[in-house]
Amino acid sequence: MIIALCDCNNFFVSCERRRDPSLEGLPVIVLSHNDGCVIARSNEAKALNIGMAVPFFTVRGICKAHGVVALKGDHTLYRQTSRDVMECLGGLFPEVEVSSIDEAYLLLTGIQTLDPARTCLGARGKLLLSTGIPASFGIAPTKTLAKIASRFSKKDPSYNGVFNFLDHPAADDLLASLSVGDVWGIGSRSLERLRQMGIRTALDLKNADDEKLLKRFPIGMLRTSHELRGVCCHSFEPDPESHKSIQIAPSFRKPVTDLETLQSTAAEHAVEAAKTLRAEGLVCGVVQVSIQTNPFRKDLPQYEATADQRIEEPTDYSPLLADAARQATEKIYKPGYAYRRVGVVLGDLSDSSSRQSLLFSTRDRSREKKLMEAMDSINRALGDDTIKPWFTKETPAE
C-alpha cells in the first residue's frame, strides 16, 4: 500500500486568512468557545511559544505585547472550508479517506506508475490555488508513517510541503530523531511507561520486542510498532461510516447551581444534537447526560456524574430527546454544587429507515416526522433557531 496524508497547515487560522487576507503574516490565534483556550495558532504565534490548548489567560500578556490577533472560532466557516478541501482532493485522487476536519488519507497505490512525490506536489499546488489552504503531504506505506512524514514535511520548508518516506535511505535515522511521544497514538500515559522500558524514540518503538509490548500495553501499541516497520495495521477506509454518537458539551460562562437551568440547558443541547441526527438520517436509542463542577477549582466541592435515559423507540424527534435529557439530568443532580458543564450525548444510533416500531406504540410517527421536517426547513431558510420546540416539564412540544 502507498498512501499519503494530506494535513492542512494551521487549519483554522488558514480558514480565517482565506476570509481576511490582511491577517497574512501576522501572529494569529483562534480561541475556543467562551474564549477559554487556544485551539489554533499561526506559525508566527507558535514562534512566540504560545502552546496548543493552553488557557488564554496564561498567554494574554504575550498576545498583548506582540500584537497577536485573537479570534473567536467560527466553526461553520471551518466546516465549509473543510468540505471545499475534501472535494478538491476528491477530484485529484481516486480514493480519499477523510480522517478529521483538516486531514485526509489518499490512496496512491492505483497511480503507482507516477512518482508519488510529484503527484502530491502537484496536488498541493492545486489545493492552494483552488481553496487557498496550504497543506503538508506525507507519503508512506502505513498511516502511522504517513503521519510522521507529513510532520517532517511541515517542519522543514526545503521539502516544499511533501515528504516521501518510501525507500528513504535515512529512514531509521529520521525515526531516531523523533521522540516516541510524537508518534500517532502515543499519549502522555503511554509515553511515561515506554520511557520506563527504555523506549525513547520512534526507532526504539519500531525495534521493540513484540511480546514485551503486548504484556505491558493494549494491542494498539503493538500495531503502532508494526506500522513503524511498514506493516499495515490500520487499513485505508474511503467510505465514511455514520456517526456512532453525537455530542454537545460546552461549558457555562458562569457556574450554575439550580436544577432547572441544568435541565433546560441539557434539553437545548439535545435539540441541537438532534439537528445533526436528522441531517444524517439517524435515530437515537439513548440520551446520556453528564454534569460536572469545575475541576480546576480545588477550593470548591467537586462532583461529576453521568446518567442514561433510554428511548423505548429510537427516535429523531426533538421533544422526546429533550424530555429524556431533562429526566437524565434530574437523576444525577445534587444541590449545593457549582456546575460548570452539562453535556449531552446521543448514543445507540441507527439508520432511521430501518427503525422498528413498538407493537403498541402510541406515537404518531408521521406527524412527528412532518413537524421536524417543517422545523428544519424553516430554520435552514430563515436561519438557525428561527423556530425551536417549546418545552414544559409535563407536556412535550406540540
* Residues lying near DNA in the complex (CB under 7 A): 32-34, 36-37, 39, 52-53, 55, 57, 99-103, 147, 183-191, 218-220, 243-251, 276, 294, 296-297, 306, 308, 340-341, 343
Backbone angles phi, psi at 308, to 5 degrees: -105, 145
* Nearest distance from C-beta of residue 48 to DNA, angstroms: 19
Q: What's the closest the beta carbon of residue 370 comes to DNA, in angstroms?
A: 26
75 versus 118: smaller Cβ distance to DNA: 75
CB of 21 to DNA, least distance (A): 24
Closest separation in Å from C-beta 188 to DNA: 5
Q: How buried is residue 257: exposed, middle or buried, by Cβ count under 10 Å (0-12/13-18/19+)?
A: exposed
d(CA 194, CA 200): 7
Give the position of cell 502515543: 186
Q: 296 vs 392, which CB is nearer to DNA?
A: 296
Residue among 167 and 241 whose Cβ is closer to DNA? 241
Q: Closest Cα partner for 191 from 149, 183, 152?
A: 183
Q: How far is the CB of 192 from DNA (least distance, A)?
A: 8
Q: Minimum Å distance from CB 255 to DNA? A: 8
Nearer to DNA, 38 or 171 (CB): 38
Q: Which residues contact 263 (CB under 8 A, 6 or more apart)?
A: 325, 326, 329, 330
- Give the nearer residue to DNA in terms of CB position, either 184 or 303: 184
Measured from the CB of residue 189, what is the shortest distance to DNA in angstroms? 3
**Closer CB to DNA, residue 150 or residue 315?**
150
Q: Name all contacts of 24-30 with Cβ < 8 Å and 24+ positions apart.
A: 26/67, 26/68, 26/69, 27/66, 27/67, 27/68, 27/69, 28/68, 28/69, 28/70, 28/71, 29/63, 29/68, 29/69, 29/70, 29/71, 30/70, 30/71, 30/72, 30/73
Query: Least distance in Å: CB of 112 to DNA?
Result: 26
CB of 375 to DNA, least distance (A): 20
Q: Which amino acid is at 175?
A: L
Q: Taking a C-beta distance cutoff of 8 angstroms, is the pair 293, 301 a contact?
A: yes
Burial readout 152-164 (b: 16 or more C-beta within 10 A, e: otherwise): bbbeeeebebbbb
**Cβ(285)–Cβ(314) under 8 Å?**
yes
User: Closer CB to DNA, residue 56 or residue 317?
Assistant: 56
User: Would you say 226 or 341 has its CB closer to DNA?
Assistant: 341
**Minimum distance of DNA from residue 105's CB (angstroms):** 11
The residue among 95 and 304 lying less far from DNA, judged by its C-beta, is 304
Give me the amino acid identity at 287. V
Cell numbers for 4: 499519503
Sheet strands (E) in 268-347: 282-293, 304-315, 339-347
Task: Compare residues 306 and 350 and give the one whose CB is closer to DNA.
Answer: 306
**8 A C-beta contact, residue 93 and residue 78:** no
Residues 6+ apart with CB under 8 A from 153: 136, 137, 138, 159, 161, 162, 163
The distance of closest approach from Cβ of residue 376 to DNA in the complex, given in angstroms and rounded to an integer, is 17
Per DSSP, the residues of 333-379 read --TT--EEEEEEEEES-EEGGGPPPPTT----HHHHHHHHHHHHHHH
Nearer of residues 347 and 396 to DNA, judged by Cβ: 347
The CA distance from 165 to 52, in Å, is 27
Cell of 101: 476536519
